[in-house]
Amino acid sequence: MFKKILIANRGEIALRIIRTCREMGIKTVAVYSTADKESLHVRFADEAVCIGPPPSRLSYLNIPSIISAAEITNADAIHPGYGFLSENAEFSKICAEYGIKFIGATAEQINMMGDKATAKDTMKKAGVPVIPGSEGLLPSVEEGIRLSEEMGYPVIIKATAGGGGRGMRVIHSSDEFQKMWDDAKMESGAAFGNDGLYLEKFIEEPRHIEIQIIGDQYGKVCHLSERDCSIQRRHQKLVEETPSPIVNDELRAEMGQAAINGAQAIGYEGAGTVEFLVDKNGDYYFMEMNTRIQVEHPITEQVTNYDLIKEQIKVAAGIPISGQNYFPNAFSMECRINAEDPKNGFRPSPGLIKSLHLPGGQGVRIDSHVYAGYTIPPNYDSMIAKLIVTGQSREEVITRMKRALMEFYIEGIKTTIPFHLKLMDDEQFKSGNFTTKFLEDFDFSDL
Ligand code: MV4
């Protein structure tokens, strides 16, 4: 087992990883930017190394600084958390070259899954259902129009280097094709330095369902059921839940096995998430695979009693997994509490937290790095807490979530709490019958 893990991240996930390391008897090294010197991860780790100024590219994305910090502290592994360097193939490779275990995917796996057209081809070969469309990259507008006429409009073109909605365009007729192609090419070239595009049939009003998997070094992969992440605004998830209101045991078994087959096809080791779109007929299609621990992993932990960070560390150290798939027998939901003003376009609201009261009680878990007197720096993402509520039924969880949100007091900044309170009272949300379009029609003006 590792003796010392460096955590190449900040905020709640850095704390989350420190907590598990402490329970496992593993020493921790925090790294921090000068904007984060008052941060809890710095205080709670056994050691802390300043790695640069506030901008991420000079600190949390600064590979030489982080490798140096690992070298001088003698860390034998690095946990990248989510975001930052967690899906950076170069960083994974450099860690391997320095003899530091990267607790995440190999450079080859990150590259393969990071190129969405390649990922899709790989999954298709492994027998995972994929959305009909171009084979690999779309070579020309003419070929795009030909394929679209064959499949029928609407279609969608996506950046192969994309994800999170950038470089993506929905096309409704052949007259629009050239302009959408030009726009998407321009946008993805500028954003990713790669303007490759691929084409798919557009799935209208899907659900976003993702399967949590974990694989070990011996080729075994198991799934820990799904998370429903359909409540998103501009590709930012706001609420996640498990099990999904639209997934029954049969669909769960099928999607779980599809995710396992896809992961095994690339010899996947570690925790990963296979994202699917599910259409109105209950047909599911591979969308992307994330080769990292995700923000919303705690809801899976709550219904499975797994510590996913512990599982990541164990498989990275070469310990085999049991190989049992998991079917949930409880419900869990996460509300992302962001320092944003939901009434004003979710505009960031960093600054001093003057006073704070966190909810507690039965079935309530908070993963957060903030405290009264803490100043949220403007340099990083705005999530300040995850409120995770667990219960015996979806109804119980929604009632309990409302109760917990009402106990949550934050003075000094605007947060997404008023939005979550309204959502928990929304009849359509409560019915479980909603799609990824739900928040497009939501009224945020009266929060
Ligand atoms: C789609 C789609 C419909 N049809 N692909 C959005 C982010 C990127 N990862 C893929 N996305 C989508 N791909 C086809 N063929 C709809 C979306 C989409 C979406 C997906 C999941 C969750 C929220 C979404 C919001 C808008 C669009």
Q: Name the token pair of 175.
A: 């007259």
With a 6 A CB cut-off, is 240 part of the ligand 1 pocket? no
Q: Please state the atom number of ligand 1 nearest to the C-alpha of residue 155.
A: 15
Distance 207 CA to ligand 1 centre (A): 9
Which residue out of 115, 123, 130, 168 has the highest number of ligand 1 atoms within 8 Å of its CB and is therefore the one to mutate?
168
SS3 string of 330-369? CEEEEEEEECEEHHHCCEECCEECCEEECCCCCCEEEEEC
Alpha carbon nearest to ligand 1 atom 11, residue? 165
User: 297-304 and 308-316 are packed helices; what angle lies between their axes, rounded to 10 degrees?
Assistant: 90
pLDDT per position in the chain (447 positions), as tens?
999 999 999 999 999 999 999 999 999 999 999 999 999 999 999 999 999 999 999 999 999 999 999 999 999 999 999 999 999 999 999 999 999 999 999 999 999 999 999 999 999 999 999 999 999 999 999 999 999 999 999 999 999 999 778 899 999 999 999 999 999 999 999 999 999 999 999 999 999 999 999 999 999 999 999 999 999 999 999 999 999 999 999 999 999 999 999 999 999 999 999 999 999 999 999 999 999 999 999 999 999 999 999 999 999 999 999 878 988 889 999 999 999 999 999 999 999 999 999 999 999 999 999 999 999 999 999 999 999 999 999 999 999 999 999 999 999 999 999 999 999 999 999 999 999 999 999 999 999
- What gap in Å lies between CA 394 and CA 381, rounded to an integer? 29
SS3 string of the chain? CCCEEEECCCHHHHHHHHHHHHHHCCEEEEEEEHHHCCCHHHHHCCEEEEEECCCHHHCCCCHHHHHHHHHHHCCCEEECCCCCCCCCHHHHHHHHHCCCEECCCCHHHHHHHHCHHHHHHHHHHCCCCECCECCCCCCCHHHHHHHHHHHCCCEEEEECCCECCECCEEECCHHHHHHHHHHHHHHHHHHHCCCCEEEEECCCCCEEEEEEEEECCCCCEEEEEEEEEEEEECCEEEEEEECCCCCCHHHHHHHHHHHHHHHHHCCCCEEEEEEEEECCCCCEEEEEEECCCCCCHHHHHHHHCCCHHHHHHHHHCCCCCCCCCCCCCCEEEEEEEECEEHHHCCEECCEECCEEECCCCCCEEEEECCCCCCEECCCCCCEEEEEEEEECCHHHHHHHHHHHHHHCEEECCCCCHHHHHHHHCCHHHHHCCCCCCHHHHCCCCCC
Distance 252 CA to ligand 1 centre (A): 21
Q: Which of 16, 292, 336, 365 is catalytic?
A: 292
pTM above 0.95, yes or no: yes
Residues 6+ apart with CB under 8 A from 21: 5, 27, 28, 313
Q: Which of 149, 130, 132, 152 is nearest to 141 (CA)?
A: 149
Buried b (16+ CB within 10 A) or exposed e, 151-187: beeebbbbbbbbbeebbbbebeeeeebeebbeebbeb
According to the model, what pLDDT value does residue 163 have?
77
What distances in angstroms separate CA 312 from CA 156, 197, 234, one per listed residue? 35, 33, 30
With a 6 A CB cut-off, is 171 part of the ligand 1 pocket? no
Domains 4-103 and 132-201 share a fold: no
Fold of 4-103: Rossmann fold (3.40.50)
Edge-to-edge strands, sheet with 364-368: 284-290, 270-278, 207-215, 221-233, 236-242, 331-338, 383-391, 364-368
Q: Which of 32, 72, 70 is nearest to 52 (CA)?
A: 32
Look-up: residue for tokens 């967690």? 86
Q: Are 7 and 77 in contact (CB under 8 A)?
A: no
- What gap in Å lies between CA 376 and CA 384, rounded to an integer? 8
With a 6 A CB cut-off, is 120 part of the ligand 1 pocket? no
Fold of 207-441: D-amino Acid Aminotransferase; Chain A, domain 1 (3.30.470)
With a 6 A CB cut-off, is 162 part of the ligand 1 pocket? no
Q: Name the token pair of 13.
A: 């996930």
Q: Please state the atom number of ligand 1 nearest to the C-alpha of residue 285.
A: 15
Q: Are 162 and 174 in contact (CB under 8 A)?
A: no
With a 6 A CB cut-off, is 235 part of the ligand 1 pocket? yes
With a 6 A CB cut-off, is 208 part of the ligand 1 pocket? yes
According to the model, what pLDDT value does residue 30 have?
98
Active site residue 10: no
Distance 108 CA to ligand 1 centre (A): 25
Second-level CATH architecture of 132-201: 2-Layer Sandwich (3.30)
With a 6 A CB cut-off, is 437 part of the ligand 1 pocket? no
According to the model, what pLDDT value does residue 164 have?
76
Q: Please state the atom number of ligand 1 nearest to the C-alpha of residue 165.
A: 7
- What gap in Å lies between CA 363 and CA 343, rounded to an integer? 29
Which residue out of 123, 229, 235 has the highest number of ligand 1 atoms within 8 Å of its CB and is therefore the one to mutate?
235
With a 6 A CB cut-off, is 232 part of the ligand 1 pocket? yes
A 10 A CB-CB count for 425 gives 10
Amino acid at 278: V
With a 6 A CB cut-off, is 434 part of the ligand 1 pocket? no
Distance 418 CA to ligand 1 centre (A): 26
Alpha carbon nearest to ligand 1 atom 10, residue? 165
Q: Please state the atom number of ligand 1 nearest to the C-alpha of residue 133.
A: 15
Q: Which of 212, 198, 288 is nearest to 256 (CA)?
A: 212
Per-domain residue ranges of the chain: 4-103, 132-201, 207-441
Which residue out of 138, 436, 441 has the highest number of ligand 1 atoms within 8 Å of its CB and is therefore the one to mutate?
436
* Distance from chain centroid for Cα 171: 27
According to the model, what pLDDT value does residue 165 have?
82
Q: Are 120 and 198 in contact (CB under 8 A)?
A: yes
According to the model, what pLDDT value does residue 419 have?
98
